[in-house]
Amino acid sequence: MPASAGFFLPGFCQLAPIPSSGMPSDKGLLPQTGLAQAATFRIIRPSTHYPCITFGGFMSLQDLSNIPGVTAQPDDATHNFVFNHTMLRVKNIEKSLDFYTRVLGFSLVEKRDFPEAEFSLYFLALVDKAQIPADDAARTLWMKSIPGILELTHNHGTENDPEFAYHNGNTDPRGFGHICISVPDIVAACERFEALGVDFQKRLTDGRMKSLAFVKDPDAYWVEIIQPAPM
């Protein structure tokens, strides 16, 4: 069958490859096929026998544990490991702090300066302020023990160079993709982002994936917006 004709994914839908358009895409291992696909696929029409199912869902823990490369039972030595933080380099720290604290609600919980190396680190947490310890030592210990910290690295002087820009990972060659924020009401959140003049990569109404959005921070890094409950 020609690639353009599409194919039926057993138990799912008829799929056809579509070109990349800069929007979020489903790439990699397709459910129940065992085939690594280099193309991006769209749903042409539902299977006549099975309803369409969203990629990435409806797989049991056992099925997930059987995916090649996955260690079904992590080593006991990793039991207390915590995915603590991710780091983004930013050009203008004032603009970035404004975006992450005012627009997304993070709190700045620690700052470290390295004047000889001409850079500073800013650690942010998306938590209730009442949870943040007031004592400096206790706050550092707390910060290093919880998941979801965002570290912003500012190399001094980059904000003064009009030609300087960081690669956001979503232009060629692609690498880093995005971070993600979960909100209780995605419609209300996106309406607020619109009112604040936030730059969107994908609005809820764009494309076929109506349950998520992407906004961009001052360095054009993508931030996915989701809500836990179905819309």
- Active-site annotation holder among 110, 163, 191, 224: 224
Q: Would you call 163 a catalytic residue per the annotation? A: no
Give me the phi and psi of 85, to 5 degrees please.
-155, 165
CA angle centred on 186, ends 184 and 191, rounded to 5°? 125
What SS3 class is residue 189?
Answer: helix
CA 78, CA 61: separation in Å to the nearest integer?
A: 19
DSSP assignments along 127-181, one per residue: S-GGGS-SSHHHHHHHHTTSS-EEEEEEETTGGG-TT-----SSSSSP---EEEE
Amino acid sitting at position 102: R
CB-CB contact of 4 with 33 (8 Å): no
Which residues are known catalytic residues? 224
